Structure 1
Amino acid sequence: MPITRKPLEIPLEVARQFAAKMRLFHAEDSPLKRDEIAAETRSILLQQMPKGAKLRLADVLELFRLMR
C-alpha cells in the first residue's frame, strides 16, 4: 500500500516570505549569501512542516531553481 501524504498547507504570509526570499536569492551574486538566504528559507519552511519532517538545504536550492 503506497504512503499517502496530506498536502502541506502553508499560510499566505509564509508563502509571501518564501517568494521574497526566492527573489533575494536570485538577485544575489555571492554564493555565501545565497546559501544564507536558502538556510533562512529552510528554517521558515520547517516551522510549517510536521514534526520530524526532513528538509535539506539542497531541497530548498532545488525549489528555488525550479521556481525561477
Structure 2
Amino acid sequence: MPITRKALEIPPDVARQFAANMRAFHAEYDPLKRDEIAADTRHLILEHMPKDTKLRLADVLELFELMR
C-alpha cells in the first residue's frame, strides 16, 4: 500500500518571506550571512511543518540552490 502524504499548506505571507529570504541569500556574498539567512528560513519553514519533522540546514541550502 503506497504512503500518502497530506499536502503541506504554507500561508502566503510565509511563502513570500521564504522567497525574500532566498533572494537575499543569493544576493549575499558573506558565507556566514548566507548561513544565517538559511537558518532563519529553516526556522520559518519548521513552524509550518508537522511535528517531529527533520529539516537540516543543508536541506535548506540545497533547496535554495535548486530553486535558483
> Normalization by structure 1: what TM-score?
0.95
Distance 2:18 2:57 in 1: 14
- 1: CA distance between counterparts of 2:20 and 2:43? 14
Letter in 2 for 1:48: H
2:21 matched residue in structure 1: 21
1:4 alignment counterpart: 4
**Equivalent residue, structure 2, for 1:49:** 49
Structure 1 runs of 4+ aligned residues shifted over 6 Å read: none
- Per-residue CA deviations over 1:3-36 (Å, capped at 9, x if unaligned) read 2211111100000000000000000001110000
Runs of 5+ unmatched residues, structure 2: none
Q: Which amino acid aligns with 1:30?
A: D
CA distance in 2, matches of 1:2, 1:54: 21
The CA RMSD over aligned residues, in Å, is 0.7
Q: Structure 2-normalised TM-score?
A: 0.95
The count of aligned residue pairs is: 68
Partner of 2:67: 67
